[in-house]
Amino acid sequence: MTMLLRFVVLAAALTGSVTHAAEVGDDSFRCIRDMTPVRGFYVDNLNGDVAATVAAANAEGGANYPAGSVVQLVPGEAMVKHDAGFSPATRDWEFFELNVSAQGTTIGKRGFADVVNRFGGNCFACHVKAEPRWDMVCEQGHGCDPIPLTATMTRAIQKTDPRCATVALTAEEQEALQTLQRAMAPKETDAAGG
Ligand code: HEC
């Protein structure tokens, strides 16, 4: 290869829209409510093309999400779409468990088919059950096993993302958070080792 050709190939590789795993880091995530809302969840695009991600999310009958897409329902979990062919088994999605605080985001766990959430569920095992046309996005009625969060609980969790400015919860949302906290609290029998 001539020097010139080599340069052109390298330049093309550098300017193409690529989202490699190594490039997705703590800073790829932000206050969930600063992302773009779609129905009950939020989307972003690390390659700067959030319109393409929103279009995929709104495509009637489903569509493949474009590379760079970030999808979140709650602050602590995310899916990020890599370039085509990056992880064929997961349709190029990488799954993340995030730790969020007023200081920002740190990635707790990340991976493809092996990430297990705080409640012992494998992200991929659930999301792969979505009908193929939905590109592993579960929402409601796409074929995934349900999660134990009502729409009100989800909204309350989104509104209390510690990275965002504080907003008031409705009485109904406060109630939903309390119900959730009671359900999540370790049982007294567990504390006693029983
Ligand atoms: C028990 C099955 C299950 C497990 C385990 C699970 N999810 Fe989900 N996930 C769902 C369902 C169902 C929804 C849709 C809920 C809704 O919209 O009411 C969802 C929603 C989401 C969404 C919003 C987009 C969508 O698919 O609707 C993201 C992003 C997400 N989950 C990521 C993760 C990550 C990351 C993990 C692991 C750390 C994980 N999930 C574990 C079932 C699961």
pTM as predicted: 0.89
Q: Tell me what the mean pLDDT of segment 68-90 comes to.
A: 97
**Which residue from 24, 29, 73 has its CB within 8 A of the most atoms of ligand 1, so it is best to mutate?**
73
Q: CA 17 to CA 99: how far, in whole Å?
A: 27
Q: Tell me what the mean pLDDT of segment 119-145 comes to.
A: 96
Look at ligand 1, atom 36, and give the residue with the nearest C-alpha: 123
Task: Express each pLDDT in 1-11 by its tens digit.
Answer: 445 445 444 44
Q: How many CB atoms lie within 10 A of CB 23?
A: 12
Find out whether the beta carbon of 112 lies less than 6 Å from any atom of ligand 1: no
Report yes or no: 30 and 163 within 8 Å, Cβ to Cβ.
yes
Q: Tell whether the model's pLDDT for residue 86 goes beyond 50.
A: yes
Ligand 1 atom showing the smallest separation from residue 73 Cα: 23
Which residues touch 54 (CB under 8 Å, ≥6 apart)?
36, 38, 43
What residue segments make up the domains of the chain, in order of their start? Answer: 18-146
**Considering the chain, what is the average pLDDT of its residues?**
90
